[in-house]
Amino acid sequence: MLDPRLLKTDPDHLVAALAKRGVSVDLSQFLALDEQRKRLQQETEQLQNERNTRAKTIGKAKAAGEDVAPLLAEVSGLGDKLDAAKTALADVQQAFNDAWIQLPNLPQECVPAGKDEKDNVELRRWGTPTAMNFKPRDHVELGEHEATTGLAMDFAAATKLTGSRFVVMRGRMARLHRALIQFMLDQHTQQHGYEEVYVPYIVNSDSLMGTGQLPKFAEDLFHLEGEQDYYLIPTAEVPVTNLVRDEIIAAEKMPLKLVCHTPCFRSEAGSYGRDTRGMIRQHQFEKVELVQMVRPQDSDAALEELTGHAERILQLLELPYRTMQLCGGDMGASAARTLDLEVWLPSQDCYREISSCSTFEDYQARRMQARWRNPETGKPELLHTLNGSGLAIGRTLVAIMENYQQEDGTVHIPAVLVPYMGGVTTL
């Protein structure tokens, strides 16, 4: 949620920044609602003041043993007037909030305007696309190839068990998948200073409101049947970031750096026909997520740091990648700036997203009322939140298979993972 004060303090910037996303806002509706709100609030508060004053008078009179009947007669009708004013005020506030919460975050100064991924800007590359003197197979072919353990990656079985966009893995493939999780968690906790957390994979709607998946993006989520309003998490970002919802964090505990492995569940509504083959886009996938809560003045540096931590994983796995600065139109609604990491996929002869690292500044924090106590002012102030994949496990597995494949259909194991594979060097 944006700071409503922007409406008065910097409306031009508000409009210009949102335009970079291709979003045009009409501020007049907000200004009109705010005017109404102000008027109704003053009216309501005045009535409340009158009621309070008179109630006190009656209390005193009664204590003094006086006859309060005439005083009671005077206040008749006040209650109804107050109720009406309160209702009108609540309606206007609701209308304002409903509309205001729909506004996406303001992109930072450095974010280029643009419509979609074609307008993203490449910041840097690491490694060179893997050279192959044969036609590379894609990970589906490799996963089903006899040279590996045979049907190590079984999409048909998953379709039988559930439906499309799921996978069954066996043997070394399943172990490699698990090894990636362990490796990433170890790297982030031991080398990058993150604390590992374990969280629920089912959350309530308040949490999804806090990080911005609701109210706008309900169709992307799996909603559970039952009396409780529960959802499967689409990313660890939701439970982990919401740890600070309604909290005031002591300054000396900042920054909070948390790493969390969870499965992620996404309905992928609206992605029909896209990436239908293989493990690129699944309803269920594993991810190791990096989350930071930092002082506002530190969030820009923290985004660079966090992105670097994700990049480090790719470097250790020796996977060629590039770092992209997303344009306004391609960023998620809550983000102020997003850097995507794209890994080289030989079968597709292009780079594909494997990590997305964002700073939300105070956009999520305002929704969550997540604050820290600023020692300079002694006051609770909104903190800044960031997160990024470090990395998406399924896509990393795909990248390893495709980049480490041999002509005979076998796949080498990246050196750094061999200890996690019990010494096995080939899939």
Q: Is 39 a catalytic residue?
A: no
> Is 170 among the catalytic positions?
no
Residue 144 is which amino acid?
A: E
| Binding range to RNA, per CB under 7 A, among 55-63, 122-130, 257-265, 317-325 | 55-63
Q: Which of 165, 172, 266, 337 is catalytic?
A: 266
Cβ closest to RNA, residue 4 vs residue 112: 4
Nearer to RNA (CB atom), residue 94 or residue 271: 94
**How many angstroms separate the CA atoms of 73 and 393, rounded?**
72
Residue 125 or 373: which CB sits closer to RNA?
A: 373
The residue from 207, 334, 356, 358 that is catalytic is 356
Q: Which of 9, 29, 42, 97 binds RNA (CB under 7 A)?
A: 42
Min dist CB 322 to RNA, Å, is 42
Over its C-alpha atoms, the chain yields an Rg (Å, rounded) of 27
Tell me the residue type at 313: I
Compute the least distance from the CB of residue 223 to RNA, in Å.
Answer: 17
- 266 is an active site residue: yes
55 binds RNA (CB under 7 A): yes
222: exposed, middle or buried (Cβ count in 10 Å: 0-12, 13-18, 19+): middle
Q: Please identify, among the stretches 34-42, 211-219, 394-402, 415-423, the one whose residues bind RNA according to the rule CB under 7 A.
A: 34-42
Q: Which stretch binds RNA (CB under 7 A): 57-65, 132-140, 212-220, 390-398?
A: 57-65
C-alpha dihedral (233, 236, 240, 242), degrees to nearest 10: -40
How far is 314 from 320, CA to CA, in rounded Å?
A: 7
343 neighbors 311 (Cβ within 8 angstroms): no
Q: How far apart are CA 370 and CA 247, in angstroms?
A: 5
Active site residue 352: no
Number of residues in contact with RNA under rule CB under 7 A: 27
**Under rule CB under 7 A, residue 253 binds RNA:** no
Per CB under 7 A, which of residues 361..380 are in contact with RNA? Answer: 379-380
Stretch that binds RNA, among 19-27, 74-82, 323-331, 353-361 (CB under 7 A): 74-82
Q: Does 419 bind RNA (CB under 7 A)?
A: no
What is the 3-state secondary structure of 80-137? HHHHHHHHHHHHHHHHHHHHHCCCCCCCCCCCCCCCCHHHCEEEEEECCCCCCCCCCC
Toward RNA, which CB reaches closer, 66 or 407? 66
- Note whether 224 and 381 are within 8 A (CB): no
* Beta-strand relationship, 195-196 and 321-325: unpaired
| Residue 70 CB burial class (10 angstroms; 0-12, 13-18, ≥19) | exposed
Site residues for RNA per CB under 7 A: 38, 41-42, 44-46, 48-49, 51-56, 58-60, 62-63, 72, 75, 78-79, 227, 248, 379-380
Query: Could you list the active site residues?
Result: 266, 281, 353, 356, 395
